[in-house]
Amino acid sequence: MTDYPKLGLYIDGEWLRGDGRAAQAVLNPATGETLAELPVASIADLDRALAAAQRGFETWRVTPADQRFAIMMKAAALIRERAEHIARIVTIEEGKPFAEAKGEVVAGAGLLEFHAGETMRIFGRVMQRPSGTRSMVLHQPVGPVAAFCAWNFPALNVIRKIAPAIAAGCSIILKPSEETPGSAVEVMRCLQDAGLPGNVAQIVFGVPDQISRHLLASPVTRKLSFTGSVPVGKQLMKLAADTVMKMTMELGGHSPVLVFDDCDLEKTLDTLVTHKFRNAGQVCVAPTRFHVQEGIYEKFAAGFAERTRAMTVGNGLESGTHMGPLANPRRPDAMAAMIENAQKAGARLLAGGARRDGGGFFFEPTVIADVPLEASAMNEEPFGPLALLRPFKTIDDAIAEANRLPFGLAAYAFTEQGRRQNRLAEELEAGMVAINGVRLTWPDSPFGGVKESGFGSEDGPEGIQNHMITKAVHIV
C-alpha cells in the first residue's frame, strides 16, 4: 500500500532496516492483509541505542530551554502540516475511522506544544536562610527513559511518551507497539526533521519481553514509562525494581458510568453511545459499566440499544463509518467469549453481539443489560465495543459498585444535582472523573490512575515533573 511508510528502527539518528534482522508482519485490521514487514531489534541494536541515549542525555540536559522549545514547536508544526497523511496511516494500521485518527494526530501536536511551553517553566526555589548562606531546590532531568506504549492510539501514545521526556531534558528509547509501527515512524520523522538530535529520541521494535528486560536491566536507564495492561505493568515494575528507577504506569481501567434519574436523558444517551464506541471501545478510559438509576433504567437501555443499532461498522477510510474493526484477531474472540459468559449468567442481549464478515477483524457494537456481577465482563476490562448495563437504587449503591473493582483510571457521572456532583467528585476512586461530560484529556491536565490502574501522571505540568529529580542544595 503506497500510503504506508517504509518501516525501520531509529537508532542514533539512523534508520535501520534489513541487514539480516528478523522481521514480522504488520496487518491491516480492516482486511487482514499484510501491510509491511517490520524489522526486529537485536541485542546489539539495543546496546547501541542505550549508548546513544546516554550520550544524548549528557548533551540534551544542558541544551538551553529555548532551544528545546524551538525544536518541539517545529515538530508540532510539522505534525499539523502532515496530519492527514499521518491520520491515514493510523487508520490503515489500527482501524479507527479517519476523522477519529485525524483528531488524535492534532491532539498529539497540541500536547507537544504544551510540553514545549513547559520547558520554560521548570522552576526551583530559594529558601530563607541567614545572610551569607543559601538553600535552594533544583529540579533536574532524571536521565534516559525507556518507554513502552500501546497500539490503541498509535500517534498520540508515542507523543505522550516523548514530549514530557525531551521537554524535561531527558533522552528516551521508545518501544511502540509492533502492531501499529507506521504512526510512530511518521511522528519520529517529524521530530527528526525539526532538528531533534538522533540520540535524544530513538525507537526500537521487537520481542517485547526481550526489549524490556534488556533496557530495564541497564544502568543507563533511569526511568520507566509504560502504557498497557495491568499484568504486563506489574511485570515491568518488578524488572525496574532491580535498579530502583523512577516509574510512571498508565495501566488498564474498567470505567464506571453513574446515570442518575435527574440527568438530561436524551443528551446523556447521545454523548455516551458515541463515546462508548469511539475506537471500537479500545480505549483505556472507555465508559464500560453503566449503572443507571432504577426509574430510568429501561428507558436508558432502550435508547442506548436503539442508537447502537444505528451505527455503521466498516473500513475506517470509508465515509460514513462510525466504528472500524478491532485492532487484531485476538479481540473479536475475547468479545465473543465475554458475551457468551454474560448471557449464560442471565444477561439480556439488546444489540449486536456477533462478528461481522468482510475479511477483517470486525465485531458489532454490543449492548448487554442486567449483567450479573459474577460475569467475567463485569470484572475484567473488555477493551472492546461492549456496553454493560445494570440498575441501581441509591447513590450509596452506585458509589459502592463503581469502586468495587481494583481499577481506578476513569469514572463518569451524569446528574444535575450540585451536592451529588460534589460527593461523586470526592468519593469515586479514579484518577480522572468527568461529570455531565466525557472528555478527560487536556494538554494541561494530568492523565493517570489510582489503585491497579497505575501511578504517576502524564500530560499537564505533572508529566514533566515525573521526568525530574528533586535536589536540595545548601551553601554555607
Active site residues: 250, 284
Burial readout 49-62 (b: 16 or more C-beta within 10 A, e: otherwise): bbebbbbbbeebbe
Do the Cβ atoms of 401 and 290 come closer than 8 Å? Answer: no
Report which secondary-structure segment, H or E, holds 227: strand 223-227
14-16 vs 23-27, strand pairing mode: unpaired
Do the Cβ atoms of 82 and 112 come closer than 8 Å? Answer: no
Dist. CA 256–CA 278, nearest whole Å: 16
Of 396, 459, 452, 393, the residue nearest 428 (C-alpha)? 396
Helix axes 395-402, 418-427, angle to 10 degrees: 30
Integer CA distances (angstroms), 203 to 1, 8, 162, 171, in order: 23, 9, 10, 11
3-state secondary structure of 128: coil
Do the Cβ atoms of 146 and 215 come closer than 8 Å? Answer: yes
Task: Name residue, grid cell 498529539.
Answer: 108
The number of residues making up the chain comes to 476
Do the Cβ atoms of 319 and 333 come closer than 8 Å? Answer: no
Dist. CA 271–CA 184, nearest whole Å: 30
Of 82, 271, 268, 277, the residue nearest 183 (C-alpha)? 82
Dist. CA 113–CA 103, nearest whole Å: 15
Burial readout 169-189 (b: 16 or more C-beta within 10 A, e: otherwise): bbbbbbbbbbbbbbbbbbbbb
